[in-house]
Structure 1
Amino acid sequence: MDEIVSVEAVRDLVVRKKLTHKQISEELRRANPGVRGLSEMSVRRFCSAHDIHRMSKVTDQELDCAVSVAVSQVGPTYGRKMMKGKLEAAIVKVNEKRLSRSLHRVAPDYCQQREQNTAKLLNPVPYSADYFGHKLHMDQNEKLVMYGCTTVLAVDGYSSMIMAAASMPVKNNVKIYRSVFRPIIEQYGVWDQVRVDCGKEFYLTLFVQQSLSAHRRNTLRVPYKQTPSTKNHMVERLWVEVNGRINYSIKTQLNRMAQEELIDMVNVVHQFCVSTIVIQVVQAGIQELLPAWNCHTIPGKGKPVELRNNTYRGVCVLHGTEIPLPEIAVQQYERSGGQIKSFGNFGTDPLLEFQHLQIIRDKEFKSRNPSFATIFNEIVNSKPNSFFNAVISFINITTHLSPST
């Protein structure tokens, strides 16, 4: 068999195409009629001799180590499917049964928590999207709005793939366009239809979607729809994931800090400082969530990344100049008779006009605190001290450097 087929060719059939030994044997026999030594058993021996396996040969000890690290990063909310997606994003492939056993060995208390919280939100409204690039759903989450953090998410309706996410102090047309919508259409092209709720924070995005509507694959569809939040359910479903895995852990600790009067959310400087830290920690959580979600298996559908690859039909805008920069988009919108609603700021930065003091503040803060990724990893594992310290130190450094002080 070694003389007939290369190791790389068989590895490709096993690892990428996921063929069984029997299927490989049948394929080789069709390609080499009359040749002996291509039985299923021969293929099995060949794969064993050359260490070719569908899944990576990770020992239980190595798997437990990888799972332990992942759990320390994301906390108790990742079950076997989401954990499988997270590990696959890091190129560690194991089947769900082994992963489930590992989770019970590494974090039995977390497994029990998930088993006791099995309620699912079901949406009885029929929904359909024909392919990746058909419908793009966008929505904002305001679970942390009282602490100066609003998160905007964009998800493809067919694959359920999270395309982009951004957090900001206050919902903002320009920020949403710059950090969420524009990067998506730069990379993938223009969706047939954008769906949002009736909020004014998406007006600039919808204006650009309308102006680029000729580049869509299906120009017969209306380029966007504004519906009540209850009917924008593809993205609404994802807020359950974001809240459970990111927002609630952070909000619990913020409420505790407010009750213990460690932070004063009436003080405009405290407002700015809390908002700045919360946004960074939430973004660290989102960076953990995105690859895990996009690589996990959705029952009855498959993995979002694979659904994207198999049915991608977006129409790419070939020239970057056709996608207006945020400032240009605002000018075009206002020339057409529109007006961008200003939602204001959250709190006041006393160092706003002193760039050199901002640089000093950033250096001092980084020298005193771990990374935001580490702060998030600890807070979801019920270790809030680094989060507390980060908020307090940022407030103290800002107050100390303030010219008015």
Structure 2
Amino acid sequence: MSSVLQQDPYAIPLDDIDVANPSLYETDSHWPLFERLRNEAPVHFCKDSLFGPYWSVTRYDDIMTVEKDHETFSSYPTIVIGDQDPNFTVKQFIAVDPPTHDNQRKAVTPAVSPQNLSQLEPIIRERIAEIMDELPIGEEFDWVDRVSIELTTQMLATLFDFPFEDRRKLTFWSDMATSSEELAGDDSVSAEERQAALMECLEAFTEIWQERANNPPEGKLDFITLMAHSPSFQKMDPMEFLGNLILLIVGGNDTTRNSISGGILMLNDNPSEYQKLKNDASLIPNMVSEIIRYQTPLMHMRRTATKDVMLGGQQIREGDKVVMWYVSGNRDSTKIDRPDDFIIDRPGARNHVSFGFGI
């Protein structure tokens, strides 16, 4: 595939395009391939990849079609392109369909409800001020580590009511959960290393679960207390508990820290947009939505066809992997005006597919 990366994207045979190749993202080479797929094969079949054969859904409207039909396009058995290791299989409520998905999601939602986040706002502001005040002046520093990761990890520890002094364990477990042998560079870890780290995560949170379950909730809204006292989670086996931990840790860590880092980069790369922000701070909420669209912290999600179905003029068979590429849908010019431009006062900025739609 390395030779393919060096080719003109429009010279590559359509059947040879594999947008799941991790090297594309390491080299930022994926954009023209997605543009081509949207134009020529919006529902595209890749027969050979690191993750096996799969369908790519690259246009906004087709993504929405898949998202809205969980009876045909199921989240089970997994939402990632690759299949799980049969010797280390975890279950997650995001990888099941309603009603189980709805009941478990509803049980943990109070932790991130607008009301609870509003109560946490003073803490968030205080921590942001502390982090920013500690940054060096007149010298280079790692923004991702010192700001994006640190702020995100501090708040994630609060949402779990996890020991604050051990908060970087959450970052480590999140990074290990999203690593694999197929990924390049520092993201490549052996299956044994990954499993050992995740079992350490399970052990730590099992102790916390037991402590929370044996005490009245008393209005506490951390994730573990909510799970421990919800009927929807009482029949979880250890691997399902681990799967849901991974879901909540990665969901709270990866997307947030990537959006913070991406937002700073975008403002730096677009000084005219930064000037708009300095002139009018009321643009911040809309800017956040535009950052999430432009950055697209969740690049894709998979479904599995439960029956033969036509989509975008293509025949999809029962059992086929169907991958919704949010990173492509957010650049669909048929739905979004000037999609490759970062515009902080963009009308309808919230109409993105960065986190999917529906369930």
TM-score, reference length from structure 1: 0.26
Based on CA coordinates, which of the two structures has the bigger radius of gyration?
Answer: 1
Q: TM-score normalized by structure 2?
A: 0.28
**Larger RCO (alpha carbons 8 Å, 6+ apart):** 2
